[in-house]
A and B are shown apart, each in its own frame.
Chain A
C-alpha cells in the first residue's frame, strides 16, 4: 500500500473541505467544512506517522483533535450569539460590521 495513496486521499478530503468553506453561506456549514479539512490533516498525520513507524503522528493527532473540539465549541458559541443578535439564519455574508 503506497503512502502516496493515503496522502492523495487526504488531499482530496482537504480540497473538498476547501470547496465547502469557500462556497457555503451559513456559518455552521462553513464550520462543518472546516471540520473536514481538519480531518484531512489528521489523516495525514496518522499516515505519515504509520510510515515513519513511530507514535509521533498519533500524538500530534490527539492534540489536534482536542484543539478542533475547542474550536468547534467557540465557533458554535459565536454562531449562537450571532443568531441571538440577528434573529435569523446566520449567513456570514450578512455580517459586515467590519467592512472598511
Chain B
C-alpha cells in the first residue's frame, strides 16, 4: 500500500512544473527528464492503482481526505472507482507519450512542458476527485492551459470566407491560432458556467453542507430539479466532449495545437467532458438522465454520423483526425445514454480506446508534419516507401478507428451498440454501425492517399522514418491498442465492477419510467 498514492499521482506533474521554474532555460535535457520522470511517476502510480484496485470490494478505494474549506463542506476528497482507475491508466499512457512526442519541441520548451504538466495534473485531479467543488477546480486547471498552449505554440491556418455568414468570416480572423485558442476557451468556459450553476444548485438542494459526490449521490433530488439541471451538466461538460453542435472548437483547436497538446486534448481532455456527464450528470441525477437519455443518445448518433462525414470531407490530415474524434466521442456519449451496464462499459472503454488511438494518430500526424511541413493530404502519396514504420502505426490506428477486432476500438463499439439495442433503440445501434463503416471509408482512403500509390514526389523523396525517441510514443500507444484489443479484461473488469454497481442503482428508476 502506497500512502497518499492519489495525492502523489495528482501532485507529481504539478510539482514537476514548479521544479521546472527553477531549471535554467538552457538545460534542455534536464527539462525533458524532469517532465518525463513526473509523467512516469504518475503513470506508474496509475497502473499501480488499477492493478491493486480491489474488484471484489468495488466502490471507492484509496480514500484520502484533506479539508479545504470546512465551513462550506469543501474538502479535497480523492478516491478511485473502477472508471477512475481505467481512465488514470489512459491518462498515464498519453502523458508519457505526449512528453516523448514533444521531445524535439524547440521553442520555449520549458514553458511548454510546464503548461503540459499543469494540464495533466488537472486531468488526473478530475478523475480521482470526489468533491464537486474541487472537481470543478481541477476541470478548469485542465482546460485553461490549452489557451496558452495553442495561442503560443499553435500553427496558423486560414479559412476562406464563404457561406451565409461570410461577413462574419471577413470580420474575424477565422483559422488563426489565436482564433482557435480563443474559440476553444470561450466555448468551454461557457460550458463551465453552466456546470458551475448546476453544481451550486445541487449543493444547495442537498442542504448546502457538502460538495462530496458520494454523499450527494445518496441524496434524492427532486425529479423536476434533476430534469432542469441535467441538461446544464450534459451540455456544459458535453461542450468539452464535442457534443453536437458545440463541437466546432475541436477541429480548429486540434488542428492548431502542437502535437503533444493535440494528443492530450483529444486523447484525454475530451474524455473529461464525457466523464463529467456520466459521473456528475447521470450518477447524481439519475431521473434527469432517464428523462433526457433519448435526446442525449439522439445527439450522440448525430455526432457519430455527422463527425464521420465531416472527416470524409476534409483534406487536412489534422482535420480528418479531429473530426474522427468528434465522431468517436459520439460513441462514448451514445454508450452513456443507453444507461445499461454494457453501454456504460462500452462508453468508458471507448474513452480509453479512443484516447490511445487518437493519441497515436496525433503523434503520427505530428511526425509526418514535422518531416513534410504539410498536412495537406492531396500533396502526399507513396509515403509507405520512405516511412514504413509510420505507415504501419498509422494503419494500426486507422484499424482501431474503424473498430476492427483485435484493436481496442472494436470492443468499445460492440459494447456500446449492444447497450443501445438493449436500451430499446435499435436505430442507434444501426446508425452507430453505419458510422463505423463510414469511418472505414475515410480512414482507409486517407491511408491509401498518404502511404500508398505512386510517389513520393521529389520534395519528399529524401525523408525518412521516425527516429529514436519518436518511436517511444508510437510503440507505447500502438502496443496499448493491441493489448486492450486482444485482452481487454484487465481494464474492462475494473470498468465493469463500477458500471454494474451504478447501473444497479439506476435500474429501479429506469423500470419506473419505462417498464
A/B: CB atoms within 8 Å of each other: no
